[in-house]
Structure formats: structure tokens, C-alpha cells
Amino acid sequence: MPTISVEQSVLRALMADAGHEHSIAILEESLPLLGTDIDRCDEEMLDIEIFPDRPDLLSAETLARAMRAFLHDEAVSPGLEVKPATTTMTVDDELSEVRPVIVCAIVHGVNLGEDEDSKDAAIRRLMDHQEKLHFAIGRGRYRASIGVHDLARLKAPFRAVCVGRDARFIPLGSESPMSIEAILREHPKGVDYAHLLDGMDRVPVLLDAEDNVLSFPPIINGAHTTVTTSTTSMFVDVTGWDLAACEASLHLVCLQLEAMGGTVEQVNVIGGQGQGQHPAGAPVQHHLPKDLVQRLLGRTFTRDEASMAFQRMGGEVLEETEDAFVVAMPCWRLDVLHNVDLIEDLAIGHGYDDLGASSPTAPSHGQPRPDAHLRRRVRTALVGLGFTEVQSLTLSNMEDQFERMRWAPSGAVTQITNPITVDHTVLRQHLLPGLLRLLAANRHHDLPQAVFELGTVVRDHKNAGRVSFLAAEASGGFAAVRGRIQAFMGALGATEATGVTIEPLPDGDGPWLAGRAARVVVNGAWVGCFGEIDPHVSDGFELAVPMNAAEFDMAALDAALPDPV
């Protein structure tokens, strides 16, 4: 989650300008309800972790706007006041396959501060806000990327065109012209974001009326448009692939500049998916059924109660009908996707502690799991043997589950369609690889180490229960693990007299050392296997200590062993 650092003096100034003050105690108590979590709060700095669904709080200015409404019941408009366009941005048709969305705005009369230090700090906040929006909304500048320019150095109207990779201009941070190809290969920002233009022979640039390059989105701005402490009017462009993300980013930057005293003016975009006048400024109207509110929150709300609640969340109740509230919410609130989101805002704005109470209308007595007694006995037995219970991730990968462990898949493997990392691509079929990963992460601790896990695996797209233990110890051989298996099975009521046999496993069947592994069979039914871990398998997990382990199928144990309870 993104974190913003706000100077207390800046936040106090923003609040004082609106006639409000704030205290650390009020912030720590109230801000979590607003969609934030305070990491650090002292007299100098406020470090706030912003929840991913509230990117509208990623700058001191937009956060203060939300705080004035939430903490002080100030009626903050859900819209952005804008003046009609006096200039245009013409988008070439060629950009439809390169960067199809372009929206722009002009902000006049921005007051960055009274002295050079405060002006520098304001510019840093503006740039930091851009980068936070690139992360939270822009998805690493793919969906949306933002450029802010000194309008005094530009000449309207503006154009967005495609150029070849041999085109040249002076990028921000450089003193001499560079080709597009050189920027992508050598400039720090070009290296970071070149992948967004992979496979494109022609790339987008924004030009003013004199064909000077404002920006090479989504990579870098032109050096001559840099915002300085003398800047009072700014041109803001947002380009990308997602119109909603681009519009929200544009509104939020303009909202920040408005808080600095700026007046926002629309730009008429001609062509592209963003055709029209931007920023729109108008809030989005929602129709919120009263019966849905009653069903989810367990009570009804009067017009005054709903108005105050939505006002605290930055919205406004426009109208009340017999069966619904008509609510206006800011268009930059991308988290409001459904009426349920509105009801959440209603509950937060009204206060969770004043929603009333209700009792269950149907009996709901707890029922034990069918295998509850077996699971309890398994845990008790392994804890008694000196093992510590752990819980590892259900997600794993093909290498850990099968290749390194020398196990073949049991039925179909459930794979993740869009994995976030190469380490988490499938749902596990075995528990033991997770235990090996756990010991690898704790190899700096002293031996012995003994852990077990009783958890769920997914085989052939169906859940199954398994239990596995792993011990790393200097004297851990086959005799040690066999002794543990005999004690474990005995604790479950299974002995040689009741049909338990130990049979050797074929060499290479699993992660076991040749000749040092066996399967456990109860009355002819396989229930699990155990043995010493082969050093070649240990090496794959960066472990170099003697280890022994076992893994059992809970369903097989349940079927083979009668429940004494």
C-alpha cells in the first residue's frame, strides 16, 4: 500500500486555512475510518498508509480536503469547479494503437508558497503525488501517466502525434538533445519504463504550437517545460489506456493545484478515446435503494441522517424519493463501483457505533467437522513428540511441488491464471515442500528444528486434508524417523497388532534417500510415507543439514483408523 509523509506544519496550515485545527489524538482515532492507517504521528511528521481503494487521499491537499469533511462536518463539494476551455489538444488517429487516451487541463494562479523553501516543498509534494498516482491508479504508468508543465513556456494549441524512434528532444534531467531510442536505452526513466513501448516503432509525443516537445509519455517530459518556483500557471496532461483512470488522475492533480489557489480551466480534446472537454468536474449521481440499506445495515435513515453521513464522506444527497436516495459522489472516487460501496460510506459517515443492534433470526449452533476428533488427536500426538505447528501458504509452484521433490502430479494441477510471482503459480498438492521452504528461511537458527503442518491441499481441483512433519537434526537418521512414526501411529491407536505394516519405498519415489524410506500401510491401505530427505533434494532448497520427514493423507487415516470417540 502507498504511504505518504506529510509535514504537520503543512497539514495544520491547510486545515487552518479552512478554519479548522487537528490534534494527533483525533487523527489516530478517526483517520483509519477514512481509509488510512497511521504509521508514524509526532509533532513534526505524519506518515500515513493509504488503503488501495482511496487514491484520492494521496496528497496533503486532497487528504486535508477529506479531513475537513470527515472530522469537521464541512460541506465539501463533490465536484470540481472548472472554467470552459479556451484551447485544444488535437489527437492524431495513429495514437489509437499506441496510447489511445489523452486528457488535459490548465490551472492558472497557482500559489506555491511565500518563500523559496515553501515553494520547493510544494513542488516536491506535487511530484510525489504524481508518482503515488502512477502506482495506485496508473499501474506503473500503463493505465495512466501524468505530466505537469510550466504553461508560460508553452504556446497553445497542442497536438499529440506519433514519431519514429530517431526523433530528438531534450528530456528532463538532460542538457542536450537525445533520440527516443537513446532515452529508452540510457535515460533512467527510459530504462524503467521502456517495456511499456515494447514492439512499437512509432511512439507518442505531445507538441505545442511551435512543435516543441512537451512530453514523451509515458516516459519523460521535455526539459524546457519544467515547473519551477516561479511557475504560476500549469498545463497538465494524462495519457494511457484506461479512460476512467486517466480522468481520475487528472481530477486529483487539479484538485491538489486548486488547493494551492489555482483556477482550473478545461482543455478541449479533439480525437482519441478522451475526446471532449476535460476535466469534467461534475460529480457522479447514484440511485441508492432504501430497502438495500435496510437489508445490509439493519436500519432506515432519515434524509438528514443520510445527508450528514454522505457529506462527511465528500458526497451529497441530492434528492430523496419514496424508495431511494439520489446521491452525488466525486467522479475521482474510483472505489465507488456498486451500491454496496455507497452503503459502506453511509455506515462510516454515520458511525458504526450508532447503527443499532439486532439478534440472529435463526438458530446457528456450531457443528464439529466430521474429522474434528482425528485432527485433534493428530495435533496432540505431534505436539507431544516435540513438533511445533506451522501454517504455510496454499500457493506454491511446479518446481517446488514436483521437480525438486521428484513427485509426479496426482491428478490435474490447479494453476493460477494471472500469478503475481513465479513462486506462487499453482495450488499445492503436498505440504512437505512448504515445510522445507520454512526451514530454509530459518536456517540461521540453531538445530534441532521440528515442525509440522495439518492443512489443505488441492488435487485434481478438489480439496484434500494432509499432515506432514519435518525434523532437522544432527543425529536424524532413519531410526529416528521410524521411532517417531511408531509413536505417532500408536497415539492414533494403530499398532502392528491392529494391522499396521511398514513397507520399503522404491528408490527415486519422492524426496527420500535411497534405501531410507518407507510407506505406512494399515490393513492393506496406504496412509502415508516417511524417510530421510535426500541431500540432492535438500540442496534444491538451499539446506545442508540431515533431515527426516513424513506426509500422511488425512482421509486415508480417517478411513483406516476407527474413531474411539
Q: Is the peptide bond between 370 and the residue preceding it cis, with omega within 30 degrees of 0?
A: no
Q: Which amino acid is at 562?
A: P
C-alpha dihedral over 369, 373, 374, 378, to 10 degrees? 120
Please list, in sequence order, all residues whose beta carbon lies within 8 angstroms of the beta carbon of residue 167, skipping any fewer than 6 positions away: 179, 180, 205
Asked if the structure places residue 357 within a domain, the reply is no
Q: Which of 41-50, 399-408, 455-464 has the lowest mean pLDDT?
A: 41-50
Among 212, 245, 243, 209, smallest CA distance to 226 is for: 212
pTM listed for this prediction: 0.68
Element containing residue 471 per DSSP (H, E) = strand 462-472
User: Which set of grid coordinates corresponds to residue 329?
Assistant: 459522489
Instruction: Give the pLDDT confidence of 177-231 residue by residue, as tens digits.
Output: 999 999 999 999 999 999 999 989 999 999 999 999 999 999 999 999 999 999 9
Residue that has been written with the C-alpha cell 462527511 in this structure: 312
Question: If pLDDT is split at 50, 70 and 90, which confidence band does 103 have?
Answer: very high
- Residue 33 predicted with pLDDT over 70: no
Question: If pLDDT is split at 50, 70 and 90, which confidence band does 419 have?
Answer: confident
**Cα(510)–Cα(499) distance, integer angstroms:** 25
Number of domains in the chain: 4
DSSP-assigned letter for residue 43: S
Same domain, 168 and 274: yes
Please say which residue of 16, 49, 72 terminates a domain.
Answer: 72
Q: How confident is the model at residue 39, as a pLDDT?
A: 67
Same domain, 20 and 46: yes
Q: Which amino acid is at 522?
A: V
Asked if the structure places residue 359 within a domain, the reply is no
Q: How confident is the model at residue 24, as a pLDDT?
A: 58
Instruction: Give the pLDDT confidence of 423-447 residue by residue, as tens digits.
Output: 899 999 999 999 999 999 888 888 8
Same domain, 486 and 553: yes
> Residue 194 belongs to a domain with what CATH number?
3.50.40.10
Q: Which of 60-64, 193-197, 267-271 has the lowest mean pLDDT?
A: 60-64
Beta bridge partners of 526: 521
Distances, alpha carbon 450 to alpha carbons 97, 385, 466, in Å: 57, 9, 17
Instruction: Give the pLDDT confidence of 349-388 residue by residue, as tens digits.
Output: 998 887 877 777 777 777 788 888 899 999 999 999 999 9
Beta bridge partners of 462: 459
Instruction: Give the pLDDT confidence of 473-483 residue by residue, as tens digits.
Output: 887 788 899 99
> Residue 25 belongs to a domain with what CATH number?
3.30.56.10
Among 343, 353, 293, 279, smallest CA distance to 313 is for: 343
Which residue would you say has higher pLDDT here, 27 or 528? 528
C-alpha 337: how far from chain center: 17
Same domain, 31 and 127: no
Q: Which of 21-25, 288-292, 413-417, 469-473 has the lowest mean pLDDT?
A: 21-25
Q: How confident is the model at residue 23, as a pLDDT?
A: 59
Q: How confident is the model at residue 561, as a pLDDT?
A: 84
Region 280-303: what's the mean pLDDT?
Answer: 93
Coil, strand or helix: which one is 557?
helix
Q: How confident is the model at residue 367, as a pLDDT?
A: 79
Asked if the structure places residue 397 within a domain, the reply is yes
Same domain, 221 and 121: yes
Question: If pLDDT is split at 50, 70 and 90, which confidence band does 21 have?
Answer: low
Q: How confident is the model at residue 22, as a pLDDT?
A: 62
Asked if the structure places residue 341 within a domain, the reply is yes
Same domain, 423 and 501: yes
Among 379, 400, 390, 401, smallest CA distance to 491 is for: 379
Q: How confident is the model at residue 54, as a pLDDT?
A: 86
Q: Is 503 exposed, middle or buried (0-12, 13-18, 19+ CB in 10 A)?
A: exposed
Q: How confident is the model at residue 423, as a pLDDT?
A: 86
Rounded to the nearest 5 percent, the helix, strand and coil shares of the chain are 35, 30, 35
C-alpha 111: how far from chain center: 34
Which residue would you say has higher pLDDT here, 59 or 362? 59
**Cα(218)–Cα(180) distance, integer angstroms:** 12
Q: How confident is the model at residue 37, as a pLDDT?
A: 66
User: Which set of grid coordinates corresponds to residue 231?
Assistant: 511557475
User: Average pLDDT, whole number, for the chain?
Assistant: 89
Instruction: Determine the straight-line distance between the first and last CA of the chain, rounded to whole angstroms.
Output: 48
Q: How confident is the model at residue 484, as a pLDDT?
A: 92
Distances, alpha carbon 354 to alpha carbons 31, 301, 349, 357, 383, in Å: 18, 11, 11, 9, 45
DSSP-assigned letter for residue 403: I
**Cα(89)–Cα(377) distance, integer angstroms:** 72
**Cα(147)–Cα(100) distance, integer angstroms:** 16
Region 331-356: what's the mean pLDDT?
Answer: 90
Please say which residue of 247, 263, 278 terminates a domain.
Answer: 278
Q: Is 57 exposed, middle or buried (0-12, 13-18, 19+ CB in 10 A)?
A: buried
- Residue 538 predicted with pLDDT over 80: yes
Please say which residue of 254, 278, 302 terminates a domain.
Answer: 278
Neighbours of 340 (CB within 10 A): 10
Q: How confident is the model at residue 366, as a pLDDT?
A: 77
User: Which set of grid coordinates corresponds to residue 177?
Assistant: 538533445
| Structural domain span for residue 324 | 284-351
Asked if the structure places residue 367 within a domain, the reply is no
Q: Is the Cβ–Cβ distance between 185 and 219 less than 8 Å? A: no
Identify the sign of the CA torsion 529, 535, 540, 541: positive
Same domain, 313 and 390: no
Q: How confident is the model at residue 310, as a pLDDT?
A: 95
**Cα(336)–Cα(314) distance, integer angstroms:** 12
- Residue 519 predicted with pLDDT over 70: yes
Same domain, 296 and 412: no
Same domain, 271 and 387: no
Q: How confident is the model at residue 414, as a pLDDT?
A: 94
- Residue 265 predicted with pLDDT over 80: yes
- Residue 75 predicted with pLDDT over 80: yes
- Residue 18 predicted with pLDDT over 80: no
Among 314, 280, 287, smallest CA distance to 54 is for: 314
Asked if the structure places residue 231 within a domain, the reply is yes
Q: Is 490 exposed, middle or buried (0-12, 13-18, 19+ CB in 10 A)?
A: middle
Asked if the structure places residue 360 within a domain, the reply is no
Same domain, 288 and 255: no
Question: If pLDDT is split at 50, 70 and 90, which confidence band does 316 have?
Answer: very high
**b/e map 223-255, b = 16+ CB within 10 Å:** bbbebeeebebbbbbbbbbbbebbbbbbbbbbb
Question: If pLDDT is split at 50, 70 and 90, which confidence band does 31 have?
Answer: low
Q: How confident is the model at residue 213, as a pLDDT?
A: 95
Question: If pLDDT is split at 50, 70 and 90, which confidence band does 19 have?
Answer: low
Element containing residue 322 per DSSP (H, E) = none
Same domain, 176 and 228: yes
Share of the chain above pLDDT 70, in %: 95
Same domain, 184 and 218: yes
Q: How would DSSP label each residue in 493-537? A: T--GGGTEEEEEPPTTSSSEEEEEEEEEEETTEEEEEEEEEPHHH
Q: At what angle do helices 60-72 and 303-312 cross, to 10 degrees?
A: 150
Please list, in sequence order, all residues whose beta carbon lies within 8 angstroms of the beta carbon of residue 251, skipping any fewer than 6 positions away: 80, 279, 281, 330, 331, 332
> Residue 465 belongs to a domain with what CATH number?
3.30.930.10
Question: If pLDDT is split at 50, 70 and 90, which confidence band does 73 have?
Answer: confident
Q: How confident is the model at residue 529, as a pLDDT?
A: 94
- Residue 109 predicted with pLDDT over 70: yes
- Residue 28 predicted with pLDDT over 70: no
Asked if the structure places residue 229 within a domain, the reply is yes
Q: How confident is the model at residue 201, as a pLDDT?
A: 92
